[in-house]
């Protein structure tokens, strides 16, 4: 059984997310898979008996709320953060589209999730979880609080209508876009065409995404040339060229994140070296250090 304290942390985060989202209370409830009447009760202090413990746990995971004694992870304005945040903001405000392809494990997903969490009418899609056309479009619709459970044709039309009718500009952030199946990738072009000038798009992935696009263009596969053109006909990158410059980039970034998140008294240089310049490794190592510190307290 989870604690009241954890439930309250989830509710507080949901309230903050609703405020930032720009959605109505009903649309926000839909976007997080909560019945609108349940959401109303929860906001008014009715915590127990409205949602199951399992649902609170799922919401906590989706909101990235630390479990137990783990402190909240601090987002650091690394070179990756600054570059990507500027690109995302430009796409959002100007309703244009950008394609960023770069190395894995440099924090691309973290920046995308952070931007979606902190900005109105911005949604983040992990394409590896919604690979097919139907799952992909229904997920976009859900995150905007639109109809996402009815007939596909209605879901699609309702989503287009909503995106073109709202006053504020929107952005759809596509992470791990190389994992999308062909029919889902084609739907990006259709959605782009139907919402041109009203929605910004930001697509990102590792080198496999670039290879997939270039191979499909060479093979004259329908849709890829058009999508590449709509996303600026270029691949943007964060990381510098050259072995020495790349190593320096990774070291600086890892060191910044380690200083902000490692427990007090940690040997930062030793930690950075042990991480082998991997943000994933660093995150896991800091979690272990925090757990050890909590047990010793």
For residue 88, the model assigns a pLDDT of 98
- Considering the domain 79-230 in this protein, what is its CATH number? 3.40.50.300
Strand-by-strand arrangement of the 97-101 sheet? 97-101, 199-205, 170-175, 122-126
Structural domain spans, the chain:
4-62, 79-230, 243-296
Q: What is the chain's length?
A: 297
- Model pLDDT for residues 102-116, shown as the tens digit of each residue: 999 999 999 999 999
Specify whether the backbone of 105 is left (phi greater than 0), alpha (psi in -120 to 50) or beta: left
pLDDT surpasses 80 at 42: yes
Residues 207-215, mean pLDDT to the nearest whole number: 93
pLDDT surpasses 90 at 155: yes
Nearest to 118 by CA among 129, 127, 110: 110
For residue 69, the model assigns a pLDDT of 66
Averaged pLDDT of the chain: 93
Nearest to 124 by CA among 104, 107, 98, 144: 144
* Alpha carbon distances (Å) from 142 to 45, 135, 290: 25, 10, 35
Position 141 confidence tier, pLDDT thresholds 50, 70, 90: very high
Position 65 confidence tier, pLDDT thresholds 50, 70, 90: confident
- Model pLDDT for residues 73-85, shown as the tens digit of each residue: 999 999 999 999 9
pLDDT surpasses 90 at 292: no
- Model pLDDT for residues 213-223, shown as the tens digit of each residue: 999 999 999 99
pLDDT surpasses 70 at 68: no
Tokens of 237: 């990158």
Residues 146-151, mean pLDDT to the nearest whole number: 94
pLDDT surpasses 90 at 71: no
Between 25-29, 134-138, 283-287, 292-296, the lowest mean confidence (pLDDT) is in 292-296
Percentage of the residues of the chain whose pLDDT score is greater than 70: 98
Position 130 confidence tier, pLDDT thresholds 50, 70, 90: very high
């Amino acid at each position: 059984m989870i604690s009241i304290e954890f439930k309250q942390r989830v509710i507080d985060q949901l309230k903050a997310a609703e405020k930032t989202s720009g959605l109505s209370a009903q649309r926000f409830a839909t976007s997080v898979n909560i019945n609108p009447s349940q959401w109303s009760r929860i906001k008014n202090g009715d915590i127990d008996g409205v949602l199951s413990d399992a649902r609170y746990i799922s919401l906590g995971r989706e909101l990235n709320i630390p479990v137990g004694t783990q402190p909240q992870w601090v987002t650091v304005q690394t070179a990756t953060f600054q570059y990507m945040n500027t690109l995302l903001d430009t796409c959002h405000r100007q309703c244009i589209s950008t394609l960023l392809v770069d190395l894995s494990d440099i924090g691309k997903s973290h920046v995308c999730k952070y931007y979606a969490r902190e900005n109105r009418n911005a949604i983040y899609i992990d394409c590896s979880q919604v690979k097919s056309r139907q799952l992909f479009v229904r997920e976009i619709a859900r995150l905007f609080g639109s109809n996402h459970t009815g007939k596909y044709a209605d879901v699609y039309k309702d989503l287009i209508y909503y995106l073109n009718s709202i006053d504020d500009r929107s952005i759809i952030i596509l992470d791990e876009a190389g994992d999308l199946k062909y029919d889902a990738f084609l739907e990006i072009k259709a959605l782009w065409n139907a919402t041109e000038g009203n929605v910004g798009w930001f697509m990102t992935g590792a080198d496999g995404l670039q290879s997939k696009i270039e191979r499909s263009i060479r093979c004259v596969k329908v849709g890829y040339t058009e999508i590449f053109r709509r996303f600026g006909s270029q691949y943007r990158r964060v990381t510098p060229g050259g072995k020495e410059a790349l190593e320096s980039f990774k070291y600086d970034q890892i060191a910044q994140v380690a200083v902000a998140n490692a427990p007090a008294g940690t040997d930062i240089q030793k930690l950075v070296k042990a991480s082998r310049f991997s943000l994933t490794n660093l995150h896991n190592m800091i979690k272990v250090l925090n757990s050890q510190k909590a047990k010793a307290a």
